[in-house]
Amino acid sequence: MYTLRRMAKLKKAKRKYQSLAKAYILGARALLSADGRKPAKSAIAKPAELKKEKPAARKTTKTKTTRAKAAKPRTLKARAKKLEPISERLTRAAARKLESRKTSTRLQGEAQLLAKAATDLQIGAHLLNVASRRAKTSSAQPQSQADEKPILLPASAESNFRIIYGLSARKERALDGEDIVLTDRASALDELQKRVVAALDEMSDRCVNVAWLSVDGVSAIGVTKLLQSTETVVVDIASLFGAGEQATGLIKTATDFVAQAYQAIRAVMGYRALDMAMDKMAAWLRQIERHPRETIGQLIERLLETARTKKELVALVAKSNAPMQKLGRGVKSATRLNQEHKVRMDLAWKLERGLRVVSIFSIAALPQAQVALAFGYLLIGAYAVFTTADYVDAPKLKRINRISGIRTAMSRALA
C-alpha cells in the first residue's frame, strides 16, 4: 500500500510539474518573441495558469485601434507579471526533485533549474532592452536600426525549453547506453584508462573556463566592493536590483525575473552549501585578485586535485582483475559522467552569457545593479567548482554530494 501511495503521489507531482512547465514555456516563448505586442492566438497557453488571457482587440473602429496602440507599453508588462507567479512555482517544483532518492531525478531537477534560470535571464534582458528603447523614444533620441528590432528568440531558448520540460532525458539515457566494443582484456583496460583520464581532464578544463568567466565578471566591479556587499545580496537580491526610484515599470519587472534566476541557482546549490561556498569563494577571489589569469587553473587544481585522482585511478585500473563485463561497465560510467558534467557546464556558460547581456541594459538603468550582477558571477563560479568537485570526487573539498563521482563509480565497477 505504501508503495502504491508513493507512486500515486509521484505521478501527481509529475503532472503538476509538467503543467507548470508547459505554462511557463508558452509564456516565456511569447515574451521573448514579442516587442510589447500581443502574440498570435496560437501562442497563448491553455493550462489553468493562463486561461484568463484576454483575446486580441477587435479591429473595428478608429477609437479601438487607438486604444490598442496606447495599451501597447502595458501589454508586455502585464504578460510578464502574469508569468512571474508561474515562474516562482516552477522553481519550487523543480527544487523538490533535488530531494528525490533517485539520482536521475535529482540530476534532471538540477538541469531544469539551471535551464529555467537561463531563460529568466533572457526574459530579464529582453524586458530591459524594450524599456531602454522606449526611454530613447520618449526622450526623442535617434534610434539605430538595431534599436528598432526586438530581440530575436535565440536558439538556446528552445534548447532550454526542452530541458525544462524534460525532453532531454531521452538523449542522456541514449548516451548511457552507448555501444562500446571491447575485443579483449588488454584493450578494455587501455580504453578504460583513456576514458578516465579524458573525463578528468575535460571536467577540470570546463570548470576552469567557467571559473575564469566568473572572475572576469566580478573584476568589473572589484572583489573588495563585492565582498563587502555579499551579505546584503544573499539576504535580499531582489531589493538590491529593484532599489531606487528608477526601478519602475518594465525595469522593475525585468529585475524581478533576474532575481528569480538567482533564486533558481541558489536552489541548485542548496542553501546550506551556498553559505559554505560563499565563504570559500571569498577566500579564492582574494587569492585570484593578487595573481594573473594562469594561476586560476592552478588554484582549481589545488581544490579539485584531479591530477592525484587521475594517478590513483589509472593505478587502480592497471591492477584490476575485474572481468570484461565490469570493465565495460566502468567505461560506460566514465563516459556518462563526462557527458553529464558537460551538460551542466554548458548551462553554467549560458547563465554567464545571460548575465553579460543583462548587464548591458541594467547598469545604465540601475547603477546599483553592478553589485548584484557581480554576485551572480560569483554564484555561477561557485556552482561550477562545487559541482565539478562532485563529479571528480575531490578528496578534500566538501561537496554537494548529489551524485557519485568518478572515483566512486570506478571503485564500484571494478569491485
pLDDT at 143 over 50: no
Q: How far apart are CA 170 and CA 188, in angstroms?
A: 27
Long-range contacts of residues 343-347, Cβ cutoff 8 Å, at least 24 apart: 343/111, 343/168, 343/172, 344/110, 344/111, 344/114, 344/387, 345/206, 345/207, 345/209, 345/210, 345/384, 345/388, 347/111, 347/114, 347/115, 347/118, 347/163
pLDDT at 350 over 80: yes
pLDDT in tens, 228-269: 555 444 445 555 555 444 456 788 888 889 889 999 998 998
Say if 61 falls within a structural domain: no
Say if 58 falls within a structural domain: no
pLDDT in tens, 80-107: 999 999 999 999 999 999 988 888 899 9
Fill in the amino acid letter for 97. K
Q: How far apart are CA 150 and CA 292, in angstroms?
A: 39
Measuring CA to CA, which residue among 408, 395, 342 is closest to residue 198? Answer: 342
Measuring CA to CA, which residue among 342, 314, 325 is closest to residue 407? Answer: 314
Say if 197 falls within a structural domain: yes
Say if 63 falls within a structural domain: no
Name the grid cell of 53: 488571457
Q: What is the pTM of this model?
A: 0.79
Say if 55 falls within a structural domain: no
Say if 65 falls within a structural domain: no
Say if 160 falls within a structural domain: yes
Coil, strand or helix at 242: helix
Q: For the chain, how far is it from start to end, CA to CA, in angstroms?
A: 36
Q: Which of 49-53, 167-171, 204-208 has the lowest mean pLDDT?
A: 49-53
pLDDT in tens, 179-231: 566 778 888 888 999 999 999 999 999 999 998 888 887 776 665 555 555 54
Q: Which residues contact 204 (CB under 8 A, 6 or more apart)?
A: 300, 301, 304, 306, 388, 392
Question: What is the average per-residue pLDDT within 114-124?
Answer: 93
Question: What is the average per-residue pLDDT within 14-22?
Answer: 91
Of 359 and 165, which is predicted with more confidence? Answer: 165
pLDDT in tens, 322-335: 888 888 889 999 99
The DSSP secondary-structure symbol of 414 reads T
Say if 287 falls within a structural domain: yes
pLDDT bucket at 362, cuts 50 / 70 / 90: low
Residue 307 domain boundaries: 2-50+73-413
**How many independent structural domains does the chain possess?**
1
pLDDT in tens, 309-323: 999 999 999 888 888
